[in-house]
Amino acid sequence: MRETKALTSRQREVFEFILKWMRETRLPPTLSEVAQFLGVPYPKSAATHLDALEKKGFIQRSPGKARGILLTPLGESYQMDRLVENIVEIPIVGRIRAGRLTGSEIVPDGTLAVPLSLFSEKPDFVLQIRGDSMNGAGILDGDMAFIRKTREARNGDLIVAHIQGEMTLKQLIVEKRQIILRAANPLYADIRVSPDDEGALVQGKMIGLFRDQRTNGGRNWS
């Protein structure tokens, strides 16, 4: 890409940190947060890199604002180029209940092209959510959940669980010697599972979510 030649490797690291931060939080980082990323004790050290990015036309800054970093058209172009470079096809392996354990099914259903840079780790497959039990966690009917295959999960993770011959997406809660699959909707009761079944229970962990909001004028990643 033509634009990257204008940046030193360190400036590129800082700029890509800014882009990642903005994707994940929907806000620009503060000077202190940039300094923390760089591992330097003083924000003034980070300001040098921001000065360079501004001088080279990648960002603008609003004086007096803690989160005053704005992307310029050049910065937006760089971001789009980076996203396109990292496009991968993730298989959509089916639809999964986020509701009562009835009628869940896993059926092959094509692929979804996504920028790999949106994820901290590569997802293995996509499941389309059916039901309303995870509404309280911001996971709605029709959403696409990106799943990394794993048999291990930590307390609080959102997991794909296999139980009673069905697949479901729930939050994993570990309390003493009990495993609980918890919905994010008070209409749904906890599902309690023996700790001995945890290995067979966990099929994967949710690492990202995509919602098609074209009817509302856009698409949303989280």
b/e map 154-177, b = 16+ CB within 10 Å: eeebbbbbbbeebbbbbbbeeeee
CB 190 within 8 A of CB 161: no
Task: Give the tokens for residue 145.
Answer: 């959940």
Q: Active site residue: 170, 194, 205, 222, which one? A: 170
Residue pair 19/118 in contact by the 8 Å Cβ criterion: no
Q: Is 170 a catalytic residue?
A: yes
Tokens (6 digits) for 30: 């503060």
What CA–CA distance (Å, rounded) separates 18 from 23?
9
Q: Using CA atoms in the order 167, 170, 173, 179, what is the torsion angle rounded to 10 degrees?
A: -20
- Quote the CA–CA distance of 181 and 184 in Å, as a whole number: 10
Catalytic residue among 117, 122, 133, 176: 133
Residue 120: active-site member? no
Catalytic residues: 133, 170
